[in-house]
Amino acid sequence: MPKIEIKNFNLYYGNFHALKDISISIEEKRITAMIGPSGCGKSTLLRSINRINDTIEGVKTVGEINIEGINVYKNNIDVDFLRRNVGMVFQRPNPFPISIYENVAFGLRVNRIASSKEIIDEKVEKSLKSVLLWDNMKGKLHKSALTLTLEQQQRLCIARVIAVAPNIILLDEPCSSLDPVATRKIEELMMQLKDNYTIVIVTHNMQQAARISQDTAFMLLGKLIEFSKTDEIFTNPSEKETDDYVSGRFG
Amino acid sequence: MRKFLDYIIETVIFICGMLSIIFVVLIFSFLLKEGLSFFKDFSFIKFITNQFWYPNSKVPSFGILPLICGSVLVTLGACLIAVPIGVMSALFISEIAPKGVRDILKSLVELMAAIPSVVIGFVGMVTIVPLVKNIFNLPTGLSAFSGSIMLGFMAVPTIVTISEDAIRSVPWQYKEGALALGATNWQTLRRIVLKAAMPGIIAAIMLGIGRVIGETMAVMMITGNAAHVPHSIFDPVRTMTSTIATEMGETVRGGMHYKSLFAIGLVLFLITFIVNFIADLFLGKNKNL
C-alpha cells in the first residue's frame, strides 16, 4: 500500500481552481520531490497533505488524500493528530521566539507525548543529535532560538518535527533562504532521514530535486503533468512540458 | 534654494523636539523645587507613614499614608478587573471573532477610550455607587470598590487596543509552525501567541495602570473622599490625585499646605516611575530570554 495516496484531488481558493484533479501515490521511506514553476500548485498540494491549508479562509477541497489508507479529509478525522503524524518544515525557518530547548519540547508537551523532565530531556537530546545540532548547542539550550543562524534555525525546525516522531515529513522549499553550503548540509540531513521517514519536498531548484529525490512529480498550472522516477523525469521525460521545463526552456 | 528650505525644516523640527524636552524638564524641576522645599520642614518618612491628613487644623498633620493606601487600593482593584478583561478581549478580537464582529468591536472599544473621565464619573455615581451600596449593604456606595470598577472600565480600552496590536503582530509563521506540530488552537494561542506578544501586552497593562493612577476626576466623584486608612475595599478612600485637585484652590501660595501638595505630586511621580521601571525590567528579561 502506498504511504500517501492522493485521489482526484481538487482545491479551490474561493473561485480559483488551484489544484486540478491530482492523483499520485507516494511510497514509503523515499524522498519525493515536487517541482514546477511558481504558482503551479506544488506548495498547495504539499500543504493539503497535513491540512495546514485549512487555516486559510475560503479553501474548499474535493477528492481524497489517503495516508496509510485513511482519507484525511473525512469528517471525523482528528486534524491535530494528523498534523503530529505528518510533520512540516516551512520555507522560512520559523522557530518560536522561545529557547532552543523549549522549541523542541513544544511538540512533546502539546501532544502530551512526554511530561517528565527526564524523558523530555532525553527526547530533546536525541532530536537535536539527529539534526547534528547537539554538539554545538548542548551548552546553549536555554538561549533564544532566534539567536541561531538561518541554517541552524532550519535544523532546529526539523528537530522540532522529528521530536514528535511523525511518519511523514513535508518540506516546503526548506533551503530557499539558505546559502549553498547550508543547503548542502540540509540536503545531507534529508538523505539520512530518508531511511526512517517518508519525505516529500517541494523545491524550486531542479538540481536539488535531481540530487536528493528518488521520485519526482512535475506540476504545471495546477495539474500534475508527470510523476515518475527522478532519473526518468530528468533524462527521459515522457511529456513535452516536462522536457521543456527540466531542460530550462521555460520556468 | 532647496538647501535653504532643508535647513529651515531641520531647524523647525529640532526646535519642536527640544521644546518637548524642555517642557518636561521645566515641569519636573518646578515640581522638584516646590516639593523638596516641603521636606526641609517636614521629614519624608513622617510624611509617607503618618496616618493623619489634617493640613488645615491648628496643629497641621501632613500624613499621606491614607492617600497612598487609597490610590494603591483603587489602582490594584482596577487592575484586577481591567487586566483579565482587557487581555481576553484583545485575544477574542484578534484571534477568535469573525471578521465582521472584529471590526465592530474594535471601533466600539476605541470609542470607549474617548469617553471623558468626568462622564465616567457621573455615570458611575448614579449607577455603580447605588448598586454597590445595595448589593453589599453598605452605609455608602462611595467606596474604593466602586472606584476600582469605574477605573477598570477606563483602563480596559487602553489595554485592549494595545494588546490587540501586539497579538496581531505576532508573525503568522509562528502559529502555522505550532499548528503543524499538532498543537490545538488554544495551545497555539497560549503557548506561542501570548508568549510572543507578551512585551506588548505588558506595555499595554502599564499604560492602563498609568491611566488609572493618574486619573482624578472620576475617582473624586466616586470614591467618597475620606482621608483615612481604609480597612477594606468597601471603605471610602481618597486618592493622592483627588487630594491635589480638591485642595490646591484653597491653599496659600508658598505656604506649608501648598508645598505639601507638590510633595504629594512628587511621591506620585516616584510611584509611576517605579511602575515603569518594573515594567522595563520585565520587558528586558523577555528580550534576552
- What is the DSSP track for B199-218? HHHHHHHHHHHHHHHH--HH
The secondary structure of residue A99, as a DSSP letter, is B
Residue of A55, A92, A144 lying closest to B289 (CB–CB) = A144
Cα distance between residue A98 and residue A117, in whole Å: 18
- pLDDT the model gives residue B70: 92
Cα distance between residue B167 and residue B201, in whole Å: 8
Contact call for B196 and A97, based on CB within 8 A: yes
- pLDDT the model gives residue A181: 85
Cα distance between residue B277 and residue B269, in whole Å: 12
Cα-only R_g, chain B:
23
- pLDDT the model gives residue A67: 92
Q: Look at residue B288 and tell me whether its pLDDT is greater than 80.
A: no
- Please tell me whether residue B54 adopts helix, strand or coil conformation: strand
Per-residue pLDDT tens for B202-258?
A: 889 988 888 888 888 888 889 888 888 888 889 999 999 999 999 988 888 888 899
Q: Look at residue B289 and tell me whether its pLDDT is greater than 50.
A: no
Nearest chain B alpha carbon to A56: B176
Q: Look at residue B283 and tell me whether its pLDDT is greater than 80.
A: no
Per-residue pLDDT tens for A144-189?
A: 999 999 989 999 999 999 999 999 999 999 998 888 888 888 898 8
Cα distance between residue B3 and residue A43, in whole Å: 52
- What is the DSSP track for A47-89? HHHTTGGGGSTTEEEEEEEEETTEETTSTT--HHHHHHHEEEE
- pLDDT the model gives residue B281: 79
Buried b (16+ CB within 10 A) or exposed e, A116-129: eeeebeebbbebbe
- pLDDT the model gives residue B286: 56
CB distance B201 to B163 below 8 Å: yes
Nearest chain B alpha carbon to A90: B177
A→B contacts (Cβ < 8 Å), by residue, are 50, 52, 55, 80-81, 83-85, 87-88, 90, 92, 94-99, 106-107, 109-111, 142-144, 157, 160-161, 164
Query: A201 phi and psi, to 5 degrees?
Result: -125, 135
Contact call for A81 and B184, based on CB within 8 A: no
CB distance B260 to B92 below 8 Å: no
Per-residue pLDDT tens for B79-130?
A: 999 999 999 999 999 988 888 899 999 999 989 888 888 998 899 999 999 9
Q: Look at residue B58 and tell me whether its pLDDT is greater than 90.
A: no
Q: What is the mean pLDDT of residues B187-213?
A: 90
Contact call for B182 and A83, based on CB within 8 A: yes
Q: Which three cell numbers stand for residue B51?
A: 496616618
H or E stretch covering A197:
none
Q: Look at residue B2 and tell me whether its pLDDT is greater than 90.
A: no
Pairing mode, strands B61-62 and B53-54? antiparallel
Judging contacts by C-beta atoms under 8 Å, the chain B residues touching residue A91 are none
Q: What is the mean pLDDT of chain A?
A: 91
The domain defined by A29-52+76-246 folds into Rossmann fold (3.40.50)
Model confidence at B194, in pLDDT bands (50, 70, 90)?
Answer: very high
Domain ranges across chain A: 29-52+76-246
Query: B120 phi and psi, to 5 degrees?
Result: -55, -40
Q: Which three cell numbers stand for residue B220?
A: 473624586
Q: Look at residue A218 and tell me whether its pLDDT is greater than 50.
A: yes
CATH assignment, B66-288:
1.10.3720.10
Domain ranges across chain B: 2-38, 66-288
Cα distance between residue A22 and residue A26, in whole Å: 13
- pLDDT the model gives residue B285: 60
Neighbours of A233 (CB within 10 A): 28
Give the A:B interface size as CB pairs under 8 Å: 76
Q: Which three cell numbers stand for residue A41?
A: 500548485
Per-residue pLDDT tens for B122-178?
A: 999 999 999 999 999 888 889 999 999 999 999 999 999 999 999 999 999 999 999
Count of CA atoms in the C-beta half-sphere (13 A) of A251 = 22
